[in-house]
Structure 1
């Protein structure tokens, strides 16, 4: 019995047993560590594995979806730019119109003054009185004529102009028919008489001219 125990003791102390235990333990530990690394690895599957084709299809689907979203956002952005440009142009047009036509009511009131001055000038110039009275009236007439010319120049400075429709064609946007006159030597529809002058502010009619229009005589 003692000989068997001593024999096992010598075997355990032998180099062969130490070599077998050392490398085996080392290899076993390295194998476990390698196996654990492989199990915890995040590397994607190889192209030959079934999981790779599924992941590729998912990526392609996401890419198509993102492209569609990008196109939709691009179209919305372009529409928003177009709408903002339209709003900007309209706002700019409103501002310009406000600058040009802000004095429209003022000009309409001044037109009445111009009518009075013109009528007074015509009535004084038509009077024929002898002596100094005639000379005074002539001076008054000249002063009123100068005043009327000055007033018309102020109108023109601010874009207000008097129409001159006589001899032209009737235009319902500029003229208001007051009467019809026989077409003697003129074409029907021609303006031959003006009872009240019309005015335009920067090309826009603010008061229609009251006119008489030539028509064919009914016999």
Structure 2
């Protein structure tokens, strides 16, 4: 019986002393491995990790800079488009103020033409104090014509009577060309109908005859 107890104690001691139960913890094994490999391997691993992190950061920095450049370019374009739109809108408003009456002015030009023809058709030799009725009529026509021209000038409407001036296709409309003595070629020899400009813009070109070389 005593020998059996001794054998049981020995078997228990052998089990407790086996390598599976006396294995070192992972941290100790890792430390042992690092010590086995030496400090140079640890430094190389750290350098590799640092290099990889630097490459990732550099790539992300480049992407962010590219996005910033793209957004800045879009912002500048949007700002330029907004400024152009504002400038065009302001110009349209100003043009509407200046030229919004041009249709009305064109209608008034016909009245001015009739008034001018009526004044020119009155025989000047008969406009005397001996003929007071005709004289009063003529004076009234002249005063009305002067007044309507003042109104035209007040609103930026200016008469074009280019006789003797150089022919300008933007202000004159040539009806014919003919050699005219005493007139240089290319100049306006005859004005059959005066023109008008509204704030510097030709509203109606003057109808003219242009002198040419004989």
TM-score after normalising by structure 2: 0.74
**Residue 169 to residue 47, structure 1, CA distance change in 2 (3 Å):** farther
Distance (whole Å) between structure 1 residues aligned to residue 127 and residue 49 of structure 2? 119
Deviations 1:62-85 (A, max 9, x none): 111111111111111111111111
Tell me the equivalent position of 1:69.
Answer: 67
Instruction: Work out whether residues 125 and 141 of structure 1, in 8 Å CA contact, stay in contact via their aligned partners in 2.
Output: no
- Aligned CA RMSD, in angstroms, stands at 2.2
- Whether 2:92 is the aligned partner of 1:91: answer no
Deviation at 1:138, TM superposition (A): 1.4
The secondary structure found in structure 2 opposite 1:138 is helix
Unaligned runs of 5+ in 2: 1-26, 28-41
Instruction: Work out whether residues 160 and 206 of structure 2, in 8 Å CA contact, stay in contact via their aligned partners in 1.
Output: yes
Deviation at 1:92, TM superposition (A): 1.2
Instruction: Work out whether residues 46 and 52 of structure 1, in 8 Å CA contact, stay in contact via their aligned partners in 2.
Output: no
Tell me the equivalent position of 1:138.
Answer: 135
Tell me the equivalent position of 1:107.
Answer: 105
**Residue 46 to residue 201, structure 1, CA distance change in 2 (3 Å):** farther
Unaligned runs of 5+ in 1: 1-30, 32-44
Q: Indicate which of 179, 185, 193 corresponds to 1:196.
A: 193
The secondary structure found in structure 2 opposite 1:210 is strand
Distance (whole Å) between structure 2 residues aligned to residue 208 and residue 86 of structure 1? 32
The secondary structure found in structure 1 opposite 2:81 is helix
Distance (whole Å) between structure 1 residues aligned to residue 136 and residue 152 of structure 2? 24
